[in-house]
Amino acid sequence: MSLDRTKLPATLYTAEQSRALDRTAIEQFGIPGFKLMQRAGHAAFVVLQERWSDLERLTLLCGGGNNGGDGFVMAVLAKTRGIDVQVICLGDDGFADRLRGEALEAWRWMLEQNIDVEYYRPGMPFTGDVVVDAMLGTGLGGEVRGSARQAIDQLNRSGKPVLAVDIPSGLCTDTGSVLGSAVCADCTVTFIGVKQGLLTHEAVDHVGQLYFDNLKLPEEVYEQVPVNAFRTSRSDREELLPGRARSAHKGTNGRVLIVGGDLGMGGAALMAAEATARTGAGLITLATRPEHVPAALVRIPEVMTHGISSAGQLEPMLKNADVIVVGPGLGQGAWGQAMLQRILATDNPLVVDADALNLICQWDVERFSRDNWILTPHPGEAGRLLDSPVSDLQEDRFLAIERLQRACGGTVVLKGAGSLVTDGDALYLCDKGNPGMATGGMGDVLSGIIGALWAQGLRTVDAARMGVYLHAMAADRVAEYQGERGMVATDLITALPHVINGQ
């Protein structure tokens, strides 16, 4: 059976962990490093042929490390199949003198095949129908400069299709940040372990279709190296959301209270409530401004809606709630402040979103820190929670969510491209979703989904990560039949039952 390179594993690694996997395979399991390089070059070449089956000319941009060595292997494979090969190296006549280890072996092997080499000059033509990016790899530690920067910028301007080897050059392996400039690839073939930075932040604009090959490493290799994060997947959904017992009733499927919807923002609370219902919560109560009750009765008659003007009116609802979702449309005025202060005084499990987060930022995050809440900030709200510029936070989202969890306790969702979830013990990433989600109301729908899953008995961190996953999958389903542009938050609500039930 051939390897399905489009199927990504659940485990994600940092650059150092990836190097540890490589060393373990070589030193403890006796797999020659050059053999691994040949396997990597072959895996990338297979993808190249699958995507561009009529390829006649190929340009390979190669650096002086192991990433370049993978490119040398691909050059040999291409020539043996009758493809015209142009190998361009980042350097000068002394390039070969700086090669070491497996990269040097691959270089010598390539020269034995009588493959000519050129050295990069700004503006020189890339003659290939497709360009292979084998320049910088995972070892990049600082901003791209010099000829590498010039080659990356020229490649991006060329408009030619690009296959990146292991990681697009210029992209940070650990964070997904662009280090000055990065290759925009049509596809990326990564090896041994999926690097966490390939799936979040700016990486989503540079990686293209991601392929993976484990290079035939034995499972025992992976047992020697810790995992940094996990990718939530379809199998997690099947495990965490099994079929319901035939004897189930509304009382066994969780009671959720949604509090929000100040004047002019009633739609946010309504969307959260409807998403809660569509995610399967048994009993849902909405506490909102009295002015929004008629709209709620029309939009979501299944939800018990109460118009409240003061926090004291919340009392009977607080006692019956398994989970409280607070924040959608809450506002930051006197009404919203009173509601949130009363809710924070309870011991109820809380999903905290939107203006509830903004109010907590104004008060004192650490004073309200607790174990039984799920916070769902977008980068702007996260920046306010940490009192840090959003740009700094986005530069290392993995570090940012760890800081958030330490400061706030509980479970934290850091929304964005490649949303992250952690409870302080395990870290999860969602690689689903699309740009159509960049519209108002999406976070309100997400908070309702998470509240419903939590109330149905999922562990706190599982409710958060599965909520993020289902939310993103619903958006992807909507995009399939109507496209991304013009997607609105309520579109996801209709799609939710389909993705929850695996349809």
Report how far residue 469's alpha carbon sits from residue 386's, in angstroms, rounded to the nearest whole number.
Answer: 25
Report how far residue 142's alpha carbon sits from residue 309's, in angstroms, rounded to the nearest whole number.
Answer: 55
User: In degrees to the nearest 10, what's the CA dihedral of 264, 369, 274, 421?
Assistant: 120
How sure is the predictor about 26, in pLDDT bands with cuts at 50, 70 and 90?
very high
Q: What is the pLDDT of residue 398?
A: 97
Give the C-alpha distances (Å, rounded to integers) separating 426 from 175, 222, 401, 420, 482.
17, 17, 11, 11, 35
Report how far residue 372's alpha carbon sits from residue 350's, in angstroms, rounded to the nearest whole number.
Answer: 7
SS3 state at 434 = coil
Give the list of residues 6+ apart from residue 238 with CB closer than 8 angstroms, or none.
502
SS3 state at 120 = coil
Q: What is the pLDDT of residue 1?
A: 35
Mean pLDDT of all residues in 52-71: 97
How sure is the predictor about 110, in pLDDT bands with cuts at 50, 70 and 90?
very high
Model pTM? 0.96
- 279 within 8 A of 449, measured Cβ to Cβ: yes
Report how far residue 13's alpha carbon sits from residue 194's, in angstroms, rounded to the nearest whole number.
Answer: 6
* Predicted confidence (pLDDT) per residue in 318-344, tens digit: 999 999 999 999 999 999 999 999 999
Judged by average pLDDT, the poorest of 11-25, 74-88, 134-148, 467-481 is 134-148
Q: What is the pLDDT of residue 265?
A: 97
Q: What is the pLDDT of residue 3?
A: 62
pLDDT over 90, % of the chain: 93
Mean pLDDT of all residues in 461-484: 98
